[in-house]
Structure 1
Amino acid sequence: MNPPPNGTALPAALPDALPKIIVAISGASGAIYGIRLLEAMREHGLAESHLVVSRSGRATITSETDYSVRQVTELADVVYDNADMTAAIASGSFRTAGMIVAPCSMKTLSGIANSYDETLIVRAADVCLKERRTVVALLRETPLHRGHLRIMSEAAEAGALIMPPVPAFYTRPATVEDIVMHTVGRTLDLLGLEMPGASRWG
């Protein structure tokens, strides 16, 4: 499924009070993080989701999960083509509450760190950073060499929050799904969104 070029909203009306959150799925391993974020936003009515999936992200969805790309895009309220640089989220005048890149590949983070706005994902992140909006990058790479660490530092200096999806074990996870959902809850926390049932210390 190729997303419409300028974003297509689902027919159902959305409350004006819902914050607009951009979700990007890039080509790193861990597409399930982006999928579960979209599901949580929709299930709990937390936000109006604006989705961009890279070409590699589309391949990762089909290779790592039982979801089709179409099923994933149908979880979002608005979908954009990653090549569409005229999309609403490419402009700072389109107000959003921030962006989550889940998963975030090193290539995508490098683009963000260097403002190399060749794709809509990187442009949208760059816009959020220049407008002082939250950008959370669930970076999926290990081990890390010095160049990776430098790019992470540069992205952080630009204002991005680097959040490798490191599992917490104080929650006593019984399944991979438990690990994924804990990260989803912590990620939403950084956008000021509370997921009901999220596991917390203490």
Structure 2
Amino acid sequence: MRIIVGVTGATGVEMSYYLVKALKNISDCEVDLILSESAKVTWEMESQIPMEELLKLADHVHDAYNLAASVSSGSVMTDGMIIMPCSMKTLAGIATGYAENLIVRAADVCMKEGRKVVLVPREMPLGKVHIRNLKEAADLGCVIVPPVLTFYNHPQTIEDMIHHIVGKVLMQFGIVHDKFISWTGVEEC
């Protein structure tokens, strides 16, 4: 399996660390990582984890402006892409096909090749333009997985909540995240 992970400058960049770590716990899973320049700035502002820890987990780290990178071509086989977090700027680029950087180009390639693209949008509240772009991206085949808090799993920490979101994202690729707690149902109401 080969997954492209894009990290944009929206808040919540640290979620990408947990995502890549979970992917690397899968045998034979190769990760291509692309960080936007804004993601690097946000990482320094938000995360206590050194960015080098994220970079070390990836098999390939691509410059966000290298439009000649391997993942910019449909001839390179991947299983799809996850953009976590996905900024509204990146969402707009995906929705309109404006591939100004490698993150949007790689998503565009995955979409044109019929590969899964999962977007984890970070914005609140959503404006009408954001909602329009989310609908457009969904109509184009992207799966939208907002990082929504869940309480039925009784999270005790922010990390527990992140693992739940990572688990929901990985489900889109048929991957079971070992730290994900699913709903077990209620026998009687």
- TM-score range normalised by the length of the shorter chain: over 0.9
* 1:170 alignment partner in structure 2: 152
* 1:90 alignment partner in structure 2: 72
Match runs of 1:41-190 below 5 Å: 41-45=23-27, 47-190=29-172
Query: Matches of 1:37 and 1:188 in 2, distance apart?
Result: 8
* 1:14 alignment partner in structure 2: none
For 2:84, the aligned partner's letter is A
Equivalent pair of 2:163/2:179 in contact (CA under 8 Å): no
Give the structure-1-normalised TM-score. 0.88
* 1:34 alignment partner in structure 2: 16
Q: Is residue 200 of structure 1 aligned with residue 159 of structure 2?
A: no
SS in 1 for 2:57: coil
Q: What is the aligned length?
A: 184
Per-residue Cα deviation, 1:81-105 (whole angstroms, up to 9, x for no partner):
0000011100011010010000000
Per-residue Cα deviation, 1:134-179 (whole angstroms, up to 9, x for no partner):
1000000010111111111111111111111001111011111100
Equivalent pair of 2:34/2:61 in contact (CA under 8 Å): yes
- Flag structure 1 segments of 5+ consecutive residues without an equivalent: 1-18
In the TM superposition, residue 197 of structure 1 has moved relative to its aligned partner by 3.7
Query: Matches of 2:90 and 2:50 in 1, distance apart?
Result: 22
Q: Provide the aligned C-alpha RMSD in A.
A: 1.1
Query: Matches of 1:131 and 1:44 in 2, distance apart?
Result: 24
Structure 1 segments of 4+ aligned residues over 4 angstroms from their partners: none
- Flag structure 2 segments of 5+ consecutive residues without an equivalent: 185-189
Query: Matches of 2:138 and 2:27 in 1, distance apart?
Result: 30
Query: Matches of 2:143 and 2:55 in 1, distance apart?
Result: 25
Equivalent pair of 2:95/2:137 in contact (CA under 8 Å): yes
